[in-house]
Amino acid sequence: MVSQKQHLSDQPLLRSHILDAARSIVVRHGFDALSMRKLAEVVGYSPASLYLHFSGRDAIAHALGAEGHARLLAALHSYDFVEDDTERLRSIGHAYVEFGLKHPEMYRLIFMQNVGYTEAIFNDAAASGETALSLLAEALAFSSQAPAAAETLWTALHGIVSLSLTAAKHLVTPTDVLIDATLELYLSGVRKKPVRRPPRPRAA
């Protein structure tokens, strides 16, 4: 019977094969379990073959993180259709935290694993025009304090995700309630931009 490794080694090794295997390892066992040797075992090729596509583990981490960040942006964009400013912001806040809790290892890789990975991912994303922060800023376009307000909200949402992942037993309040309470406190302090009205015509 032909083994899986023998079967794979008869096929051309593609970048997508490597990333699929790397993603599977990270999701199941965490990023610390990922190594070029382990990855080579999973895909059924020699470690040297992997280096034809990626310069090393850091390059694979960068690619996976960029992919994960794109998926996060897609989750946030899924509420673009909501017309009410407050409801759209609330939906985006929930979507952000839901992504982090549903894909914990990917979220850690994007934002918590290594400052170098996060910086590289955000530099790439900014060059393409969008980051998680820029989408929060867009959702807060109604605020007169949009840039600072977006950073404050991002900090709060990240705090909910990171503490839920690392200190969940100390959080007795359900996550959805935490998000809503955070947004209520947050929105109460956000001033809306003044509406410019046309000047009244002078009386004759």
Statement to judge: residues 81 and 174 lie in one domain: yes
Statement to judge: residues 30 and 121 lie in one domain: no
Residue 133 domain-assigned (yes or no) = yes
Statement to judge: residues 130 and 151 lie in one domain: yes
Which CATH number goes with the domain that contains 97? Answer: 1.10.357.10
Statement to judge: residues 140 and 68 lie in one domain: yes
* Whole-prediction pTM: 0.82
Residue 98 CB contacts under 8 Å (≥ 6 apart), including other chains: 75
Containing structural domain, residue 134: 57-188
CB distance 160 to 173 below 8 Å:
no
Token pair listed for 26 = 């990270």
E-only strand ranges, 88-199: none
Distance, in Å, from the CA atom of 155 to the CA atom of 150, rounded to the nearest integer, reads 9
Q: Which amino acid is at 79?
A: Y
Distance, in Å, from the CA atom of 118 to the CA atom of 191, rounded to the nearest integer, reads 31
Statement to judge: residues 74 and 42 lie in one domain: no
Phi-psi region at 32: left, alpha or beta (left = phi > 0; alpha = psi -120 to 50): alpha
Residue 166 domain-assigned (yes or no) = yes
Apex CA 187: angle with CA 184 and CA 193, to 5°? 165
CB distance 175 to 141 below 8 Å:
no
Statement to judge: residues 137 and 160 lie in one domain: yes
Residue 198 domain-assigned (yes or no) = no
DSSP H or E segment with residue 76: helix 57-77
Cα atoms in the Cβ-side hemisphere of radius 13 Å centred on 97: 27
User: For every one of its 204 residues, what pLDDT tens digit does the chain have, with 9 covering 90 and above?
Assistant: 334 444 444 455 788 889 999 999 999 888 889 999 999 999 888 888 899 899 999 999 999 999 999 999 999 999 999 999 889 999 999 999 999 999 999 999 999 988 988 998 888 877 777 888 888 888 887 766 667 888 989 999 999 999 999 998 899 999 999 999 988 877 776 655 554 545 555 555
